[in-house]
Structure 1
C-alpha cells in the first residue's frame, strides 16, 4: 500500500474533475510492470531450491465496466524473462513467460469520484517458452509446464483530465509448474507479486 500512497497524494494536486467509470465504459491502462517471484521448489540435485530474478516489462490492461461498481479486466504484457539459479550451482537456466489474466473487479466510491480504489480476483494462465539451460545445464533440455491458477489484485485510479487517469496496482498470481531437466523433474511455486504503474484512457 505504500507504493500506492504517492499516487493518492498526487491526486490532491490534480484537476478536481470527476473520474467517471460508468457502466459501459471501456478503458485501457499501459505502463511498466515489475514481476517479483516469491518462489519455492524441490531441492535441485542437492544444490538448493530454484531462484528466479525480477524482470520489468510493458503491461497493458483492458477493462469493461459492467456497472458503476463492477468491471472485467484482461491483463497482457510483453514477455517476461527470468534467470534461474540455485545456491549451489549458480545460474542453471533462463526462461520466458507470458501471464495473461482475467479479473472480476469491484470499484469503491461513485462513478464520478476523483479517486477509484478497486480490488479484483480471477484466473491467471502462464505460458513458458524459450527455456534454455545454462551453466551445469547448458546444452540440455529444459522445459516448464504451463500453469493455471488464481490471481488477485488491488489498485487505484486517479483522475488527470476528462479521459486520462493515473493508475497503480499490485497483483498476486498463483503459478505452479513442473520443471523438466536432464537431471530430473522438479516442482516449483513461483507465485509472483507484480507492481504496475500506468496511465489510462477512457473510451
Structure 2
C-alpha cells in the first residue's frame, strides 16, 4: 500500500515538468485529534464509551492549481497513524492503524502581503488495519474502507524574497466513522470525526 502511494507521488512529481508553475509540494506534520465523543459500543451487553487517542504524524501533500484561476485540488498523504482506543467500562484498550488520504477542491483567496488564505471541501478515505484488543484473543474488525466528507481552511505565507518557498498552516475536519465487529458480532460504530491541524513548508514548481 505504501509503495503504491509513493509511486503515485513520484508520478505527480514527474508530471510537474509539463505543468511548470502549477504544482505545489507541501511537507508538514499533523496532529490528528478525534472528537471528544467517539460514540457508544455494546460489548457483551455492556455499554462502552470509547476514547480514541490523538496522534502526530508526517503528512506531505501535493497540490495542482488551475492556471489563471483561484481554484486548485490538493491530495493529503500520510505515513500510517496508530491510535489507542480506551474501553473504560471494561478496563481494556484497543488499537488500530490507518491511512487517511484526503482530496479537497480549494478556492484560494487573493494574496495580501504574502498571505494566501484558502478554503476547501472534499473527501477522506480511511483504510484501517491491525485492529486488536490488547492483551486478549478477541478478533476485532473495522470496515475495510470508510469514505467521509472533509473540509479545510488555511493559508500559505510566501515572502517576496523567498522565490518558490513558503510556509503554510491549515485545519481539516472529516466526518469519519467505522462499524466494528468483535468476534464476528456487530458491536456498534466508532465515531472518530477528527480535526487535523497541519503546519509545514511549501515549494512551488
Instruction: Report the equivalent of 2:12.
Output: none
Runs of at least 5 residues in structure 2 that lack an aligned partner in the other structure? 1-19
Residue 34 of structure 2 is aligned to residue 55 of structure 1: no
Aligned equivalents of 2:21 and 2:92: distance in 1?
48
Relative to the length of structure 1, the TM-score reads 0.82
Aligned equivalents of 2:166 and 2:92: distance in 1?
41
Aligned equivalents of 2:91 and 2:26: distance in 1?
37
Aligned equivalents of 2:172 and 2:65: distance in 1?
19
Q: 1:188 deviation in Å?
A: 1.8
Residue number among 172, 186, 189 corresponding to 1:187 in the alignment: 189
Q: Aligned Cα RMSD in Å?
A: 2.0
Number of paired residues? Answer: 179
Q: Give the match's secondary structure for 1:88.
A: helix
Instruction: Report the equivalent of 2:120.
Output: 120
- Deviating above 6 A after TM superposition, structure 1's stretches of 4 or more consecutive aligned residues are none
Instruction: Report the equivalent of 1:30.
Output: 27
Residue 137 of structure 2 is aligned to residue 139 of structure 1: yes
Aligned equivalents of 2:70 and 2:30: distance in 1?
25
Relative to the length of structure 2, the TM-score reads 0.81
Instruction: Answer yes or no: is the 8 Å Cα contact 1:47–1:89 preserved in 2.
Output: no
Residue number among 39, 42, 45 corresponding to 1:44 in the alignment: 42
Q: 1:71 deviation in Å?
A: 0.3
Instruction: Report the equivalent of 1:150.
Output: 149
Instruction: Report the equivalent of 1:172.
Output: 173
Aligned equivalents of 1:53 and 1:28: distance in 2?
29
Aligned equivalents of 1:42 and 1:170: distance in 2?
26
Structure 1 residues 119 and 43: alpha-carbon distance in aligned structure 2, compared to 1, 3 A threshold: same
Aligned equivalents of 1:81 and 1:153: distance in 2?
23
Q: 1:184 deviation in Å?
A: 4.1
Instruction: Answer yes or no: is the 8 Å Cα contact 1:83–1:91 preserved in 2.
Output: no
Aligned equivalents of 2:174 and 2:104: distance in 1?
11
Instruction: Answer yes or no: is the 8 Å Cα contact 1:44–1:86 preserved in 2.
Output: no
More relative contact order in 1 or in 2 (CA 8 Å, sep 6+)? 1
Q: Give the match's secondary structure for 2:63.
A: strand
Aligned equivalents of 2:188 and 2:134: distance in 1?
16
Instruction: Report the equivalent of 1:201.
Output: 203
Structure 1 residues 124 and 156: alpha-carbon distance in aligned structure 2, compared to 1, 3 A threshold: same
